[in-house]
Amino acid sequence: MIGPANLDYVAHNRGGVLRKGAMKGIVFSGMQPSGTPHIGNKLGALDNWVKMQDEYDCIYGIVDWHALTTGYEDPKEVGRQSLELAMIWLACGLDPQKSTLMLQSAVPEHAELHLLFSMFLSLPRLERIPTYKEKLREIEGRNLTTYGFLGYPVLQAADILIYKSTHVPVGKDQDYHLELTREVAEQFNRLYGQLFPITQTVHTVFPVLPGTDGRKMSKSYGNTSSLTDSEDMIKDKVRNMVTDPQRIKRTDPGRPEVCPVYAYYQAFAPQEAERTAHECRNALRGCVECKLGLVEPVQAVVRPVREGVETWQQQPDEVARILHTGSQQARGRAQQTVTEVREHLGLWQP
Ligand code: ADP
């Protein structure tokens, strides 16, 4: 049975609640339902999410409003993709008996906190965030000079702080956003009195996995190897990966440190990585052969997730129920924080 009755809340942490046996702290992290998650999401974040479930009080959010910041013109798929994302999480090992799995838009208190934070956050500070400028440059064909897109990291700060999270497991691309979250907490505490913890970022050993084109793998860049790709798709994508652009002929020595294929060896076949680097530097192995050696190690990571998703696809109502229950639990906690926030600000509460 999954449900609030199973979750034994025992200890108070500055007004928040910690789950029994999860005394190391409170974890929040989120993922956008903006396309199928990829192997970078798994290596950079999901693997840690699964590990932390036993020692922390974990809340994992499908951040559907965040998906609208870039996908506002065509939001029709976001609902379906939210359910699909939950299935992938479950297939990767997130366990609703251990963690709270919730949908951001089902907890409107996130929006209230976002609004209150936006009152004191400076516009130039948000415009200076390097990932903001980078995404404006990299994502083509969409107008992202919007209020919502600039506010993306403010909403993220609200997602994290509304649960008084102490730890946030994310990929390296989120470092600037987490820095802002800490600043928001400090500013709030200074202006209105101590309420929020200063959260720590938690990285995996592979906090940035490159995409098939060598840029960071990202759903918004269309360079991903997704966690539900078929065997044939994986083969094609691995075979078409870019390599060191200066290695033109088979006899040219290569530079593994700039080659995404080498990064994949480190991530998916670490026992082969050193030999691969040596053979690349000394032109002992061609890039095509090198890529072929990667196909099976990538399949080995994707196959169990794809098969797990196929099983969950037979039970969409159960997945919806898990998200509904998790969102209700999360909402209770979020409401408690928002009540405290209003008190700190001195707002009149009818
Ligand atoms: P995307 O950038 O593909 O849209 P999200 O923004 O939904 O992915 O990120 C979900 C989580 O996955 C975040 O913690 C993010 O840091 C992590 N992540 C995303 N891309 C990568 C990557 N290429 N390597 C490692 N971690 C990543």
Q: Which residue's alpha carbon is at the smallest distance from atom 14 of ligand 1?
A: 170
**pLDDT reported for residue 38:** 96
Question: 12 is written with which tokens?
Answer: 């108070």
Catalytic residue numbers read 135, 216, 219
Q: Which residue's alpha carbon is at the smallest distance from atom 3 of ligand 1?
A: 218
Give me the amino acid identity at 1: M
Q: Which of 4-13, 43-52, 89-98, 198-207 is least confident? A: 4-13
Q: How confident is the model at residue 21 (pLDDT cuts 50, 70, 90)?
A: low
**pLDDT reported for residue 19:** 55
Question: 265 is written with which tokens?
Answer: 């060896």
Q: Is the pTM of this model over 0.85?
A: yes
For residues 171 and 208, the answer to whether their CB atoms sit within 8 Å is yes
197 alpha carbon – ligand 1 mean position (Å) = 24
**CB distance 90 to ligand 1 below 6 Å:** no
**CB distance 220 to ligand 1 below 6 Å:** yes
What are the CA-CA distances from residue 156 to residues 69, 253, 293 (Å)? 12, 44, 39
Q: Which residue's alpha carbon is at the smallest distance from atom 19 of ligand 1?
A: 41
1 alpha carbon – ligand 1 mean position (Å) = 31
Give CATH for domain 4-207+315-345: 3.40.50.620
CA angle at 72 for the pair 79 and 212, rounded to the nearest 5°: 80
Q: Could you give phi then psi for residue 138, rounded to 5 degrees? A: -80, -35
Domain range list for the chain: 4-207+315-345, 231-309
Residue 172 Cα: closest atom of ligand 1? 16
Cα 30 to Cα 163: distance, rounded to the nearest angstrom:
13
Q: Which tens digit of pLDDT belongs to each residue from 105-158?
A: 999 999 999 999 999 999 999 999 998 998 888 888 888 999 999 999 999 999
> Superfamily for 231-309?
Tyrosyl-Transfer RNA Synthetase (1.10.240.10)
**pLDDT reported for residue 139:** 82
For residues 47 and 29, the answer to whether their CB atoms sit within 8 Å is no
Average pLDDT in the 77-85 region?
96
Q: How many CB atoms lie within 10 A of CB 241?
A: 21
Question: 133 is written with which tokens?
Answer: 């400028």
